[in-house]
Amino acid sequence: AKVRLLLRKLDTTAHSRYCNYILPKLPSAVKFDDTVATLRKIFGSHTSIFHKRYQCLQLAKSEAEDIITYGGKVNRACEDFEFQKVKIDQFKCLIFICGLKSPRYADVRARLLSRIEAETAENPVTLQTLIDEFQRLVNLKADTTLVERPSSSKPAVHAVQEKRSGPQQQRPAKTEGKLPRTPCWQCGQMHFVRDCPFSGHLCKACNRVGHKEGYCSCVSKPSCSSS
């Protein structure tokens, strides 16, 4: 009788959802306590206790909200918080998670929340537990990123090798293009004597070979440009 009376409180849609959920059983075959538990499972809140507590800490009065409505929200949120059941370690963990707002901690935050949800009396979660888990996850993420880029060191080594070998290959070119400190005494141009085009030239002024006209007096003078 109590089951039938309870189910009469449901509208057509809700009653149909309940009947479909308990199939192949009939509503009359389910005990009252089991019926209440099933209705709570179907129509009750599926929000985690952490989510409720987090939302409680985020409450703020809007401009369009009157003080009575806001007070009701605070009262409901605090009741959902279940202060009488919360332990000091649980509250510390809540504050710790709430502070990880950066997008870079999204994956870590999800793992920590999962760790809190899996808490049991035999395996409680403390603030130190979350700190250790946070550091482990951050290190694991860094190691994973490092492994995903194994070839990143090759270009660096290649660049160092090129940097070391480059100047050695270019040194001969710089030596070849070096100019003498003094002009060539055979013709007056800026090049070494060994490269002078007048080395085999017959001077018309003195009839001697090895210099340009006008440089007869310089033939016998030593010069550093001949080196």
Q: What is the pLDDT of residue 83?
A: 86
Q: Per-domain residue ranges for the chain?
A: 2-43, 87-143, 182-227
Question: Which residue, 50, 163, 170, is CA-closest to 110?
Answer: 50
Long-range CB contacts for residues 111-118, cutoff 8 Å, separation at least 24: 111/137, 112/137, 113/50, 116/50, 117/48, 117/50
pLDDT digits (tens, 9 = 90+) for 193-217: 888 888 888 888 888 888 888 877 7
pLDDT digits (tens, 9 = 90+) for 33-87: 888 988 888 887 777 788 888 888 888 898 998 999 999 999 999 998 888 888 8
Residue 154's pLDDT band (cuts 50, 70, 90): low
Model pTM? 0.47
String of DSSP letters for 71-95: HHHHHHHHHHHTTTT--HHHHHHHH
pLDDT over 50 (residue 174): no
Structure tokens at 203: 């001077």
